[in-house]
Amino acid sequence: MKKVVILWSSPNKDGLTASAKNQFVHGLAEKGVQVEEIHLNSKKLEHCRACGNGWGSCNKTGSCVIGDDFSEIYHSLTEADGIVWISAVYWAEMTECFKAFFDRLRRCDAAHNHFLAGKRCVLIACAGGTGGGALECLQQMERGLTHMRMRAYDRISVVRYNREYILPALITAGETYAERLETGFDMYY
């Protein structure tokens, strides 16, 4: 059985981001995938301190000096077959909670461990205001993913104007991702 970790961030447990997450999880569950949902806003996650000379000890050890929930979440990601990154869009970027985790993950994984290299991910940005900024948020996610040598299988923009047709499609997206995890990804790179 394949395992997928859903990393998601929004303070609203019944908002647009949560709806998008639930739909994708629904699709994964239809295909029998084991899902672990991690709600980053509920976790204790400090910001990177950029310690030492700026590179920090993570550059040499692959672990972070801060003793909060970071390591446990990182460990879950290393064991996952697939990872889905879902964030509300704030200021055309991922949320601050998401960024706090993402920054530290990138340092440990890209600079030292490479545990996540090769994983194929789905990126979902939920912009509930004007809808502007979703693409920038997806780009921000993908840039970090690239540093960690992961790959985006899809990048999905959810806005309040497309929710009527995107939310139902997210079930199919979850099902399709689950199938690709089983049978291989139809990508040329």
Ligand X SMILES: Cc1cc2nc3c(=O)[nH]c(=O)nc-3n(C[C@H](O)[C@H](O)[C@H](O)COP(=O)(O)O)c2cc1C
The contact set with ligand X (CB under 6 A) reads 10, 12, 15-18, 88-92, 126-133
* Minimum distance, C-beta of residue 64 to ligand X, in the bound complex (Å): 26
SS3 assignment, position 113: helix
* Minimum distance, C-beta of residue 57 to ligand X, in the bound complex (Å): 32
- Output 110 or 173, the one with its CB closest to ligand X: 173
DSSP conformation class of 90: B
Residue ranges of E strands in the chain: 3-9, 34-39, 82-88, 120-127, 151-159
SS3 assignment, position 106: helix
- Output 95 or 113, the one with its CB closest to ligand X: 95
- Output 62 or 131, the one with its CB closest to ligand X: 131
- Output 78 or 130, the one with its CB closest to ligand X: 130
- Output 4 or 89, the one with its CB closest to ligand X: 89
Q: How far apart are CA 112 and CA 63, in angstroms?
A: 9
- In terms of C-beta distances under 8 Å and separation of at least 24 residues, what long-range contacts does 60-67 make, across chains too? 60/112, 61/112, 62/108, 62/109, 62/111, 62/112, 62/113, 63/108, 64/104, 64/107, 64/108, 66/104
* Minimum distance, C-beta of residue 5 to ligand X, in the bound complex (Å): 19
* Minimum distance, C-beta of residue 93 to ligand X, in the bound complex (Å): 8
Q: How far apart are CA 29 and CA 27, in angstroms?
A: 5
Closest residue to bound ligand X by CB:
128
* Minimum distance, C-beta of residue 3 to ligand X, in the bound complex (Å): 25
